[in-house]
Amino acid sequence: MKQGCRQVLACEDMGINRKTFKRWSHDIEDKRKGPLSAPSNKLTELEKKEIIKTLTSKEYVDLPPCQVVPMLADKGKYLASESSMYRILKNEELLAHRGKTKEPSKQRPMPLIAKAPNQIYSWDITYLNTSIKGQFFYLYMFMDIFSHKIVGFEVHENESSVKSSELMTKICESESIKKNQVTLHSDNGASMKGATMLATLQKLGITPSFSRPRVSDDNPFSESLFKTLKYSDLYPKEGRFKSLKEANSWVQNFVNWYNGTHLHSGIKFVTPNDRHELKDKEILRKREELYKKAREKNPLRWSKKTKNWDYIEEVSLNHLQKRVKEDIKVAS
């Protein structure tokens, strides 16, 4: 600046705005006026001390202000409102969890990460409408979150942990699942947490994993799959099935299409079967080469990078964006 460089050019060279530079060049002070007098309804220091003494006394130390206030009122005594008591306790660092109950945890569970097929399964049960209003068939469906492949399904007339455990046994046989290989995630339904199902999982060496109560997005893979199923063009236009045989037959056709034909957007538009059989890495490599050649042939048609065909190394369930990598439980 002192050597004759113009301020505009200097700011452009440094990548800052001229107003920013002017603000940095002057001492910044707080020019807010603010209130000049204390509010008329402010509690005095003596009143605050009396509130703290009362709330920390043997009689009220284990009670929250919402209970202390009416108890004092019944004795003909008023100290302050509930909100004022909470504020004073917070300022004095006395607003902590008290009592014998465990302090509730607001943290999401540790995510599960699959780096290969047959490591983490997700499953759920959904309704299928019948020709009789008010009656439903129940679709049991298991999927592999790494490949998005539907590894097993059955349609029944009722929900049962016995039926789900039998289906899980069949899946382990068809997929050659070994003990301590798979983690099975589900919600907290009766069929998922039934004694028969849990006993079967223990016998098969499968680790159960459950969603938090009343948290619908803890089982996103199954929920997304059911939406794809019910909004598919293959789904019956009338939306109803006349018999259990018809429902099973339709779901089988859907599974064949979904696993073998459907290019899934979540796995770079390859089929779940190709992903499950680890063929997708070669497919994505060929696509990458094709796009590179197309760009070399006509570079002016590409203003940005080519489409991302990078291989997806891992898939997580209940993923946390900010988490130390070493602390994440990795499925093995």
Tens digits of residue pLDDT in 164-206: 999 999 999 999 999 999 999 998 888 888 899 999 999 999 9
Do 84 and 191 fall within a single domain? no
Which stretch of 19-23, 97-101, 237-241, 321-325 has the lowest confidence by average pLDDT?
321-325
186 neighbors 209 (Cβ within 8 angstroms):
yes
Is residue 328 predicted with pLDDT exceeding 50?
no
Is residue 270 predicted with pLDDT exceeding 90?
yes
Question: Once rounded to an integer, what is the mean pLDDT over residues 118-131?
Answer: 94
A 10 A CB-CB count for 274 gives 21
Residue 33: per-residue pLDDT: 72
For residues 205 and 300, give the distance between their C-alpha atoms in angstroms, rounded to a whole number.
57
18 backbone dihedrals φ, ψ, rounded to 5°: -60, -40
Do 253 and 133 fall within a single domain? yes
> pLDDT over 90 for what percent of the chain?
60
4-8, 24-28, 207-211: range with highest mean pLDDT: 207-211
A 10 A CB-CB count for 14 gives 10
Amino acid at 67: Q
Check residues 239 and 277 and name the one with the higher pLDDT: 277
Is residue 19 predicted with pLDDT exceeding 50?
yes
Nearest CA among 102, 126, 124, 122 for reference residue 112: 122
294 neighbors 315 (Cβ within 8 angstroms):
no
Is residue 99 predicted with pLDDT exceeding 70?
no
List pLDDT tens digits, range 222-238: 999 999 999 998 898 88
Is residue 147 predicted with pLDDT exceeding 90?
yes
Do 61 and 202 fall within a single domain? no
Q: State which residues form the domain around 52.
A: 45-91
136 neighbors 129 (Cβ within 8 angstroms):
yes
Do 131 and 170 fall within a single domain? yes
16 in a domain, yes or no? no
List pLDDT tens digits, range 37-81: 888 888 999 999 999 999 999 999 888 899 999 999 999 999 999
Distance of CA 174 to the CA centre of its chain: 30
Do 158 and 228 fall within a single domain? yes
Q: Where is the domain boundary, 245, 263, 281?
A: 263
221 in a domain, yes or no? yes
Residue 32: per-residue pLDDT: 66
Q: What is the CATH number of the domain that holds 212?
A: 3.30.420.10
286 in a domain, yes or no? no
Structural domains counted in the chain: 2
For residues 143 and 221, give the distance between their C-alpha atoms in angstroms, rounded to a whole number.
8
Distance of CA 252 to the CA centre of its chain: 29
135 in a domain, yes or no? yes
153 neighbors 141 (Cβ within 8 angstroms):
yes
Question: Once rounded to an integer, what is the mean pLDDT over residues 119-145?
Answer: 94
Tokens of 284: 């994505």
Place of tokens 């700011």: 11
Positive or negative torsion for Cα 208, 213, 218, 221: positive
List pLDDT tens digits, range 274-284: 999 999 999 99
- What angle, 0 to 180 degrees and rounded to 10, lies between the N-to-C axes of helices 82-91 and 45-55? 90
Is residue 256 predicted with pLDDT exceeding 80?
yes
The H or E element spanning position 196 is helix 195-204
Nearest CA among 262, 270, 254 for reference residue 311: 270
Q: What order do you get walking across the sheet with 329-330 strand by strand?
A: 315-317, 112-114, 329-330
pLDDT band at 18 (very low <50, low <70, confident <90, very high): confident
258 backbone dihedrals φ, ψ, rounded to 5°: -65, -45
110 neighbors 279 (Cβ within 8 angstroms):
no
Do 143 and 251 fall within a single domain? yes
List pLDDT tens digits, range 294-327: 989 988 888 888 889 999 999 998 755 444 444 4
Do 240 and 125 fall within a single domain? yes
Residue 189: per-residue pLDDT: 84
Q: Where is the domain boundary, 91, 126, 146?
A: 91
Output the average pLDDT for the chain.
Answer: 87
